[in-house]
Structure 1
Amino acid sequence: MKIRFLGTGTSQGIPVIGSNHPVCLSTNPKDKRLRVSVLIEIDSNTYVIDCGPDFRQQMLRHDVKQLDAVLFTHEHNDHVVGLDDVRPFSHKQGEVTIYAQERVIVDLKKRFAYVFQEKDRYPGAPKIMVNEVGTAVFKLGNLEVTPIQVLHGKLPILGYRIKDFVYITDAKTIADTELEKLKNVEVLVVNALRREPHHSHFNLSEALAFIEKVKPTKAYLTHISHLMGFHEEVEKELPKNVFLAYDNLTITL
């Protein structure tokens, strides 16, 4: 299984428009972050978790030719607004499969009404096959996927476990019952917004405490804002098995 980090930034990305913050002015490519998403390649299939406003750029950057499914964590703009840009895959494949909670599907059908309408459907719109998921294990072909419910502030959202890889973003709290799903994880990806506390995201200390509780072999931090600091400086402070993810990083399990 190959995992590529398409984007590792928070909702505004880095650099932030109009910002003179030192991190936004950095020339280090690792300090430049598109909106958060990962590409997973396994058994000749290609899956994406979330498709935000940078989705088109991310697909072109990585020369992605095939998209077998999109798994959505939740409905916030930086995670879903790239849905229309699955059109080239739809035109080539016939349809693109998505997986999301019922609430998220309802939201997508409002935002992208022209995509889902059945009568007088615009012929250029992408064709989408919708699959509703909850907290039960579901199948991507022969692959088992375990949804992990976390709270983004008060909003219930999903992380996903595929084999020994877990991807969680936008988390603030997680119930002990859901922690059971994270046993014996090899690679854990989890959000760490900044150093200061935030009402709906892990900050750095909360993310590190969560990693210590889960005890993965390796952990990667994502959904990072410019307020976290420079990539190279933050990395020096982290435990030996914890790393800052960065755009275009590829790991193999």
Structure 2
Amino acid sequence: MDQLIFLGTGDAMGVPRVYCDCEVCTEARKTGLNRRLRSSVRIESREGNFTIDCGPDWRVQMEGEGQRHMQQLLVTHAHFDHIGGLPEWADACRWLGSKGNMYAPAEVLEQINGQFPWLGRQLDMHSIDEGFILAGWHIRGWKVNHGKNGFSYAYRMEKGTFAWAYCSDSIGLNDQEKELLHGLDLLVLGTSFYHETAAYETRSVYDMLEAQELLAEIKPVQTIFTHMSHDVDLKAGYPLADGITLAHRGMKVPLGG
């Protein structure tokens, strides 16, 4: 059976924050329960493996999983916490003499090439605006609101009768952006806070209270929250609706019945 592995579950800054002595950051330094690398997942299948996003913690994530090479990558958007590891991946491909394959919408590839114009020497870049198949998964991507940070892409993946979606960076989705989130067996959704008090116009990701309003509308069978800041304590026991789980590094989830 295919499975989903959480390589990182943190927001853009990760946990602990280097400057912070809050309870969550202190615990993360001591026992590691709340230690969070930048958000990324790997999908393992008999038909191949692929990773979603390649942030600045990519090397640590690979070492932690005992992995020496990554062949296929799907990118949600061109923010540093999602692409900061690309130069290291490209360098690994150079040393191994094996080009990697990176998949993203055309506008995301354009932004990445603007930041790292040399990557094309080691990575084959594939535009996926029309949808595609990867490791047997039929994948459709669409642009979602990322608040003050512009936009990201979410991905809906289907194989057989199982459908799931990865939506790490979004807020205030409109009806069109929600359309492909209906009828899901699993939704992986970014929620940086349990309840964020900053002014709405300054924000970029759902909090858990807002996310539960979204879930009541789209009704996935199971939901996993990721992309969590140091405001979120895995020991806290937040009042969450049935079917919601908080992700942690190394968490493995079956994709299918």
Q: TM range, normalised to the smaller chain?
A: 0.7 to 0.9
- Aligned partners of 2:12, 2:176: CA distance in 1, in Å? 29
TM-score by length of 1: 0.88
Identity of aligned residues (%): 28
1:2-13 mapped onto 2 (5 Å cutoff): 2-13=3-14
Which residue matches 2:231? Answer: 227
Deviation at 1:132, TM superposition (A): 1.5
Task: Tell whether the 8 Å contact from 1:150 to 1:173 is kept in structure 2 after alignment.
Answer: no
SS where residue 125 of structure 2 aligns?
strand
Runs of 4+ in 1 over 3 A off after TM superposition: 89-93
In the TM superposition, 1:15-94 aligns within 5 A as: 15-26=16-27, 27-86=30-89, 87-89=91-93, 91-92=95-96, 94=98
**Greater shift after overlay, 191-200 or 30-39?**
191-200
Q: Deviations for 1:93-150, whole angstroms, at most 9, x for unmatched residues? A: 621111112222122212212323xxxxxxxxx611111123x322226431011321
Helix, strand or coil at the partner of 1:232: coil
For structure 2, the residue ranges without an aligned partner over 5 or more in a row are none
Note closer, same or farther for the CA distance 1:137–1:29 as it changes in structure 2 (3 Å cut): same
How many residue pairs are counted as aligned between the two chains?
241
Deviates more, 1:12-21 or 1:62-71: 62-71
Give the CA deviation at 1:90.
5.4
Which deviates further from its counterpart, 2-11 or 137-146?
137-146
Aligned position for 2:168? 169
Amino acid in the other structure paired with 2:56: P
Describe the superposition over 1:42-96 as per-residue Cα deviations: whole angstroms up to 9, x where unpaired. 2241111110000011011112245331111111100001002223345446211
* Shift in CA distance, 69/93, structure 1 to aligned 2, threshold 3 Å: farther
Distance 1:142 1:244, change over 3 A: closer
Partner of 1:187 in structure 2? 186
CA shift digits 1:132-184 (9 cap, x unpaired): 123x3222264310113211016232111222121101101323223222232
TM-score by length of 2: 0.87
Other structure's SS at 1:113 match: coil
Q: Structure 1: how far apart are the matches of 2:248 and 2:36?
A: 7
Q: 2:144 is matched with which residue?
A: 150
- In the other structure, the counterpart of 2:250 is 248
Q: 1:213 to 1:91 in 2, by over 3 A?
A: farther
